[in-house]
Structure 1
Amino acid sequence: MTTFNLLLVAFIQGLTEFLPVSSSGHLILLPALTGLADQGQVIDVAAHLGTLAAVILYFWADVRLALGGTLRLLRGKIDTKGAFLALCLIIATIPVIIVGLILKVTGLSDAMRGIAVIGWAMIIFGIVLYWADQKGANHRTAESWTLKHAVQMGLWQALALIPGTSRSGITITAGRILGYNRRDAARLSMLMSIPTIIASATLLGLDVISSGDVGALRDAAVVIGMSFVAALLALSLMMRLLRSVSYTPYVIYRIALGIVLLWIAYT
């Protein structure tokens, strides 16, 4: 791939990973709409690693708490906030791993990578996000997260395997429905992304190793760096805007893009 292609993939992945507009949907659309070559699994893994580093850095206080809690959890103890947070994150990740493996084994994950599917998902789940954001209460904070809510948000997260849904968008939707305020719904969504991205990158990495396609290390390094910068900027901007702005601008973008995609798909 050319340097321009690499930077374009990294920028799109980094910018859209944590915004509720579907990063996977945009990456699928890139070769479909521009004629550029598919970026391949090595670049996909690199882009995931870049965004993973960004979210860990931004939420380092929570990540450090969960890491310390994981050690307590491995000893069979759930006696600290960190241990409980780690348990909630693990529980919330199980549904998407199970459903993801089923889709991969059955081949349905490839079957859903169409422009029409992405278009419908953009519109439908955009409308659901708008409804949840407008009707959702604001009485819960991330500190009041429960195992029951972790299970519910984890089940919603599994829907993100439909291209165009948006992992962050669907988990934020779930958080708003459960009564978490906008910033804390986003905060929980971002923390949930960490084990999910790790699982996804591990699965892609195993595919890369089994295929022997490990020669693009320079390209991968470029993508990691660019996607990290783009993701950190997008994440910082969104969390700041949520102090005064709702999710409506993202909904408008989703619906507008969805309409364009459906027009392309059906004409």
Structure 2
Amino acid sequence: MDCHHVYFLALLQGLTEFLPISSSAHLILMPVIFGWHDQGLAFDVAVHIGTLTAVVVYYAGALKDMAGAWFGSISGKGMNTDARLAWYVILGTIPAGIAGLAANAYVEAVLRNPLVIATSTIVFALVLWLAQKLSAEQRTDNDINWRDALVIGLFQAVALIPGTSRSGITITGGLFRGLDRKAAARFSFLLSIPVTALAGLLKTYQLLESDQAVSWWNMFLGALLSGVVAYIAIDWFLKLLDRIGMLPFVIYRLILGSVLFFVFLPG
């Protein structure tokens, strides 16, 4: 990869990973528009490490409290809000983990198709819009229960379909459960940590099993840039969420899906 490919793809991945606009759609569209070669598995590993680091650093204080409370809960010290939230993140991760193990090979072989991505980009944009329209948005982080975690986790499993947007579909699930948009987004980002870590481990294993040449400089640069941009994107998104809502992202996704159809639809 040329250096400017690394810059643009890392910036794009960092920006789109946690916004509800589908990183996979963007990473497929950009190389096609500019005639670049596929970025390769090694770069995918690098940007996963970068975005995972970003969300862990952003929520470092909360994660420390959750981890301490979780270990306390399994050692008989009782449950508190942080312990429950940690258990809910674990519960919400299970459906996506099972779906990934069961269907990942099929998804990679069949569903990584630009027309599938265009369709899911548009369809799940409309579902996100519907969720915001119907949601009471009266419940906060402190009101999350195991049913919310399970439902949002099931929504997250749907993100296995390329173009869905993992953050978009989990925020959608939270809104349908009546969470306010900030609570839905925060739980979505916390829920991303184990899923992103598992995806990164899987891609790392695939990289170690392959004979692909690795440019360590490109990997380092990709991880650094995607991590910095993802951190900024998370902070920006959460601060503006009350003001802008989901409609701008819905409109953007509808435009993006239409562009994908225009570029890839035969004839």
TM-score range for the pair, normalised by the shorter chain length: over 0.9
Cα distance, 1:174 vs. partner?
A: 0.6
CA drift of 1:165 comes to 0.6
| Residue matched to 1:182 | 181
Residues in 1 aligned to 2:78 and 2:40: alpha-carbon distance in whole angstroms: 41
- Report the counterpart of residue 203 of structure 1 in structure 2: 202
Aligned match of 2:24: 24
Secondary structure of the 1:139 match is: coil
Q: 1:215 to 1:173 in 2, by over 3 A?
A: same
Corresponding residue of 1:83: 83
**CA distance in structure 1 between the aligned counterparts of 2:179 and 2:82, rounded to whole angstroms:** 20
Q: Map of 1:6-155 to 2, 5 A cutoff?
A: 6-72=6-72, 75=75, 79-105=79-105, 107-155=106-154
Spell out, residue by residue over 1:67-117, the C-alpha distance to the aligned partner (whole angstroms, 9 max, x if none). 223423554765233322221111111111111122224x33331111111
* CA distance, structure 1, for counterparts of residue 76 and residue 146 of structure 2: 16
Question: What SS does the corresponding residue of 2:242 show, helix, strand or coil?
Answer: coil
Q: How many matched pairs?
A: 266
Change over 3 Å in CA distance of 1:53–1:3 after alignment to 2: same
- From the superposition, tell whether residues 76 and 87 of structure 1 become closer, same or farther in structure 2 (CA, over 3 Å): farther
Provide the residue aligned with 2:164 in structure 1.
165
CA RMSD of aligned residues (A): 1.7
Amino acid at match of 1:172: I
What do the CA deviations read for 1:200-249 (whole angstroms, capped 9, x no partner)? 10111111112254732211110111001111121111111113111100
- Stretch deviating more after TM superposition (64-73 or 135-144): 64-73
Q: Which runs of 5+ in 2 are unaligned?
A: none
Q: What is the percent sequence identity of the aligned residues?
A: 39
Match of 1:248, as an amino acid?
L
Mapped contact 1:156–1:174 kept (Cα < 8 A): yes
Q: Tell me the SS of whatever aligns to 1:243.
A: helix
Distance in 1, Cα, partners of 2:83 & 2:97: 21
1:222 matched residue in structure 2? 221
Amino acid at match of 1:146: N
Distance in structure 2 (CA, Å) of the matches to 1:48 and 1:76: 35
